[in-house]
Amino acid sequence: MSKNDVLIQVNQLYKIFGENTNEALELVKNNMGKDELLEKCNCVLGLNNINLDINKAKIQVVMGLSGSGKSTLIRHLNRLIEPTSGEILVNNQDILSLSQKKLIQFRQNNMSMVFQKFALFPHKTVLQNVGYGLAVQNIPEKEWNEKAEKWINRVGLDGYETYFPGQLSGGMQQRVGLARALATDAEILLMDEAFSALDPLIRSEMQNILLDLQNELHKTIIFITHDLDEALKIGDRIAILRDGSMVQDSDPQEIIMHPADDYVSDFIKDINRARVIQAKSIMTRTKVKSSGATVKEDMVLEDILQIMSDAPTKPVTIEDSKGKVTGKIEMDNLIEGMKRPKSQGTNITG
């Protein structure tokens, strides 16, 4: 990735909640931990030296358990929360230096947000909710009605324009939330645990809608979640937060193959590796065609296993999306790949 692809840069971002934050900041910079800080200064460490580059037109997932600071981080990007110290650049513009007026314009034009609890306006109809981001820009009503209508159709809610949010199911409400965020045509979409409140089937459906839309719109999406399966499904990159610090920020495959520490290993412990790991992560690099079948680089191990079970001794050939041979996989590689990585510790059961 070249520097030009980076749309959002977060540099040395600190957030401390409480009084005497300047004093506390010094202590944190001198490596004082979260618990000690709470005891000594009565301050809560929200974010601790976060550095993150977010690429244009990609989905950046930020993951962590509750209290890890992920929702705090995303609210810094549109300054719903002000940092204690640090720098946030969007398109090389320092958003922390924006005046209140410029900030409002920035929020209207450049970023929109989808919320965990939907946060729809209960007294406005679906149409008015979706058009809200446009209405606050004083765009003529007829114009925003048209645009809102378009996005309502796009998320599959045509016919519900005059309903109030309270009359819709959770899944439908979040479609409204999504349409509201898309209607402003902002380049950046912030999604704060957007699908966490939905039940699994609806959640999966919403993830697909999001991926469909992303194929078409190429937004820069920052997606917060605590669900690893969701992160792996939609993320182009995954950053993992713990107690306000960034533990790892990398390609999803990389996180599974090489977790940075025990915290991350713990996170990925329960996933079905065969269904997530792709051929390219475990293959032996070679340009020579092997004796077995030929499969694509991004095929998951489960599917490769299915193919290999017909001829276990023949290694499969791996090719990239253009059909060029890039490697091979043998049965041993498959078994090795499905094993949990070493940094996990010794208590391997079953």
Which pair of tokens denotes residue 157? 């809610």
Least distance in angstroms from the C-beta of 138 to other proteins: 9
Residue 326 backbone dihedrals phi, psi, to 5 degrees = -125, -15
Closer residue to other proteins, CB minimum distance, 69 or 252: 69
Least distance in angstroms from the C-beta of 66 to other proteins: 16
CA distance linking residue 49 with residue 34, whole number of Å? 13
Query: Count of residues for the chain?
Result: 350
CA distance linking residue 68 with residue 79, whole number of Å? 18
Closer residue to other proteins, CB minimum distance, 192 or 230: 192
Least distance in angstroms from the C-beta of 160 to other proteins: 10
Pairing of β 188-192 and β 220-225: parallel
Instruction: List residues bridging with 64 in a β-sheet.
Output: none
Helix locations, 17-168, DSSP H: 21-29, 34-41, 70-77, 100-109, 126-130, 132-135, 141-154
Least distance in angstroms from the C-beta of 122 to other proteins: 6
| Inter-CA distances, 117 with 173, 177, 191, Å | 9, 10, 11
Least distance in angstroms from the C-beta of 235 to other proteins: 22
CA distance linking residue 254 with residue 234, whole number of Å? 15
Least distance in angstroms from the C-beta of 224 to other proteins: 14
Least distance in angstroms from the C-beta of 246 to other proteins: 23
Least distance in angstroms from the C-beta of 276 to other proteins: 33
Closer residue to other proteins, CB minimum distance, 69 or 259: 69
Which pair of tokens denotes residue 190? 């912030």
Q: Are 151 and 183 in contact (CB under 8 A)?
A: yes
CA distance linking residue 222 with residue 114, whole number of Å? 10
Closer residue to other proteins, CB minimum distance, 195 or 267: 195
Q: Could you list the residues that contact other proteins (CB under 8 A)?
A: 78, 80, 104-109, 111-113, 115, 117, 119-123, 132-133, 135-137, 163-164, 166-167, 180, 184, 190
Closer residue to other proteins, CB minimum distance, 22 or 137: 137
Closer residue to other proteins, CB minimum distance, 1 or 136: 136
Closer residue to other proteins, CB minimum distance, 177 or 315: 177
Helix locations, the chain, DSSP H: 21-29, 34-41, 70-77, 100-109, 126-130, 132-135, 141-154, 170-183, 200-217, 228-234, 252-257, 262-268, 273-276, 279-282, 301-308, 331-338
Least distance in angstroms from the C-beta of 134 to other proteins: 9
Closer residue to other proteins, CB minimum distance, 80 or 217: 80
**Residue of 89, 67, 71, 275 lying closest to 193 (CA atoms):** 71
Other Cβ atoms closer than 10 A to 199: 11
Closer residue to other proteins, CB minimum distance, 105 or 343: 105
Which pair of tokens denotes residue 229? 């399966």
